[in-house]
Amino acid sequence: MSEYFFDYLSSLVKEGSVKRDEPMRAHTTFKVGGPADYFIVPGNEKELSEVIAYLNKAGREYMVVGNGSNLLVGDHGYRGCIILLYDNFNKISVEGDRITAQAGALLSAIAHEALENSLTGFEFAAGIPGTAGGAVIMNAGAYGGEMADIVESAEVIADDGDKVTFSNEELKFGYRKSVLQVRPVAVASVSYKLKPGKKEEIQSRMEELARERRSKQPLEYPSAGSTFKRPEGYFAGKLIMDAGLRGYRVGGAKVSEKHCGFVINYNNASASDIMDVINDVTERVNGHFSVRLEPEVRIVGEF
């Protein structure tokens, strides 16, 4: 059965685009993670649609990823199919004050296009290390802005392989969430509605935010960005610091001294090291302040 499954999957995409036992450490910004049973790299929307439809029909577990910037995969891997959009779904187009980006396009690349076309509104996202698809699914945000403010619509591939368009309202954005987190769909592209602005002012704001990130975030270490969601009425990083956990470590993973809201891979950490730090921080903060932190990072696979 597994040989038939592999062969059929391979027939849906370009030759060599399906692999077995692909190490996920090569596809996450944490630089950890065991092998995915199957690793699929569709070349276009037709291939993506056919793969999605087949996996749902076959009842196979799967997950769509971009550049793995918000993902922690267990050391023993993922018992399912990883569909990677980062390599081939990265086209960006601009028409008037609207930018449309395929799901695998980096937010930094979209921000560059906004700058080159003197469009304002995307500055907050220029330094978020994610892709268009993942950002709309989790309503990524920073520095007072979030995707809900600028996304006009998202085109997604439903479980039967058909393309469906979700408007901003239909996406039902909330804090670090959208309806796409609970719907069985794969984002194909996202359209953003921005505003005309002055190029010098846009560039100045991007440079200002980049300086702030460099000064306050541990960008020199592998991580998934901010590890915990912001609990209502608090800041996760301050709670972690006040609980005495600055620099707390397990194996090669630790709470960043530079920003306590980041768990970093500072010395060849395993996924289990990172998971242990996340769990220990959660329990310690809850014990001190009766506030239970929730991971912002997506945790999958076997640890």
Can 212 be counted among the known catalytic residues?
no
Alpha-helical runs (H) found in the chain: 2-12, 45-58, 107-116, 132-138, 168-171, 199-216, 236-242, 271-289
10: buried, middle or exposed (CB in 10 Å: 19+, 13-18, 0-12)?
middle
Can 232 be counted among the known catalytic residues?
no
- Measured at the alpha carbon of residue 89, what is the angle toward residues 72 and 153, in degrees to the nearest 5? 90
Can 296 be counted among the known catalytic residues?
yes
- E strand map for 7-131: 18-23, 35-40, 62-65, 71-73, 78-84, 92-95, 98-102, 119-120
Please pick, among 17, 47, 123, 176, the residue that the annotation labels catalytic: 176
Q: Which residue has 């596809």 as its token pair?
A: 27
Q: Which residue has 């921080």 as its token pair?
A: 281
Give one DSSP letter per residue of 273-297, joined into a string.
HHHHHHHHHHHHHHHHHS----BSS
CA 77 to chain centre: 18
Distance, in Å, from the CA atom of 50 to the CA atom of 53, rounded to the nearest integer, reads: 5
Please pick, among 226, 230, 249, 256, the residue that the annotation labels catalytic: 226
Starting from the edge strand earliest in sequence, which strands make up the sheet with 18-23, in order? 18-23, 35-40, 78-84, 62-65
What would the two tokens of residue 7 be?
């062969």
Which residues are CB-neighbours of 115 under 8 A, at least 6 positions away?
199, 202, 203, 206
Given a contact cutoff of 8 angstroms between Cβ atoms, the answer to whether 32 and 272 are in contact is no
Q: What is the set of active-site residues?
A: 176, 226, 296
